[in-house]
Amino acid sequence: MRIPALLALSAGLISPALAATVRVATFNASLYSERADGLVERLRNDDPAARKIAAVIQHKRPDILLLNEFDYDADGTAADLFQQRYLAVPQYGQAEISYPYRYFAPVNTGVPSGFDLDGDGRCDGPGDAWGFGRHPGQYGMLVLSRFPIEQSAVRTFRDVLWRDMPGALAPQHPDGSSWYPPAAWHVFPLSSKSHWDVPVRTPLGTIHLLAAHPTPPVFDGPEDRNGRRNADEIRFWRDYISTQNADWIVDDEGRRGGLAAEARFVIVGDLNADPADGGGRREAIIELLEHPRILRMATPQSVGAEAAAWADGGANTGHRGAHRHDTAAFGPQSGNLRVDYVLPSTGFRATASGVFWPMPDETGADWLDASDHRMVWVDLTD
């Protein structure tokens, strides 16, 4: 069991040098429902999948965690239930865990646009929301932290307009005309959920947790509306950490510009992009991985992911990327891909990392069916 750094230091159990280690993780938990308040109902009824998700968290014990696909509700009832009835209760032999600090906010998924965005001749379907969803808040995000969050300094970018991004990849019909009606494009948000800059005060100083969940780059047609949006949602972070490219960015409170050059950060989330395989515009994730402010480190991996790829077969047999780097299992047609990321900035050292994908005979193998994604974690120090 990992001992929280500050607690262990105060108890005299480990040296100051070892104490200053922070584990940051991302996990697409698949804790969503097709109905508004459906997740709350699930969590009130001893949800088996939620117990397994909690067990993974208890087993790996991250200090700072982004959960993708955790339905948003304004009063935080779902988050309360998950923390109190699942994380605070031992699951499958794991020790309970507490996160005194958290952050959640509205997202664009499920919010009606009033336009026919998917071209099916109607304006009221899940594909006509500003982010695909059947109710507002579906597939939301939740940040949990053992360390204080600087709530007043959080920046959100839910309302940033796609058209305002320089060189925006606006979807087009094959004849070159705009896919979206001009009135829709004029008010179309870039983010399918949201982009958040959440500053966390840690033993290593303030870490800016840069959280997002871009749309999958599939489920569209030759206009590539989802592929283009995914690429530009990823490019947002590239511009945000590049001070020379960030003047166009204005957050939801009207503050202009990107992240300060001296700030340290970790980009986290299900970015729905694999640098070697899959259907997305791979240049977007490659350019982010190769950004000069991103730490060069070993790619998180697991033996279980490699074993699963060979066992699953299908598209995996033709993939170019290393199977051990996979973070999600999408079935034989798409195969397993690397789509979930923890990307620290320069100025940190990564002392350990991994993907929680146990072998069939290892602890947690029977928890994996709770989500088609796996937790990715990185241990950071100065």
Q: Is residue 239 part of a domain?
A: yes
Q: Is residue 12 part of a domain?
A: no
Instruction: With CA atoms as reference, report the closest residue to 26 among 105, 140, 142.
Output: 142
Q: Is residue 8 part of a domain?
A: no
* pLDDT score of 14: 38
Q: How far apart are CA 203 and CA 93, in angstroms?
A: 29
The 10s digit of each residue's pLDDT in 151-184 is 999 999 999 999 999 999 999 999 999 999 999 9
Q: What is the CATH number of the domain that holds 50?
A: 3.60.10.10
CA count, 13 A, side-chain hemisphere, 68: 31
Q: Is residue 7 part of a domain?
A: no
- The answer for residues whose C-beta is within 8 angstroms of residue 52's C-beta and 6 or more apart is 91, 92, 366, 367, 368, 369, 370
How sure is the predictor about 244, in pLDDT bands with cuts at 50, 70 and 90? confident
Host domain of residue 300:
22-381
Mean pLDDT confidence for 302-306: 98
Q: Is residue 77 part of a domain?
A: yes
Q: How far apart are CA 345 and CA 84, in angstroms?
A: 33
Whether the per-residue pLDDT at 276 is higher than 50: the answer is yes
Q: How far apart are CA 173 and CA 169, in angstroms?
A: 13
Tokens (6 digits) for 8: 């262990």
Q: Is residue 319 part of a domain?
A: yes
The span from the first CA to the last CA of the chain, in angstroms, equals 22
Mean pLDDT confidence for 33-44: 97
**0.85 surpassed by pTM:** yes
The 10s digit of each residue's pLDDT in 203-229 is 999 999 999 999 999 999 999 999 999
Contact present, 342 and 268 (Cβ < 8 Å):
yes
* pLDDT score of 93: 98
Mean pLDDT confidence for 115-137: 97
CA distances from residue 354 to 12, 25, 56, 58 in whole angstroms, order as listed:
28, 10, 13, 15
* pLDDT score of 114: 97
Percent of the chain with pLDDT over 70: 95
Q: Is residue 85 part of a domain?
A: yes
C-beta neighbour count of 372 within 10 angstroms:
15
* pLDDT score of 13: 39
Q: How far apart are CA 117 and CA 26, in angstroms?
A: 30
How sure is the predictor about 233, in pLDDT bands with cuts at 50, 70 and 90? very high
* pLDDT score of 243: 82
Mean pLDDT confidence for 51-63: 98
The 10s digit of each residue's pLDDT in 326-351 is 999 999 999 999 999 999 999 999 99
How sure is the predictor about 4, in pLDDT bands with cuts at 50, 70 and 90? very low
Mean pLDDT confidence for 352-372: 98
Contact present, 308 and 331 (Cβ < 8 Å):
no
How sure is the predictor about 149, in pLDDT bands with cuts at 50, 70 and 90? very high
Q: Is residue 298 part of a domain?
A: yes
Number of domains forming the structure of the chain? 1
* pLDDT score of 2: 45
Mean pLDDT confidence for 43-48: 98
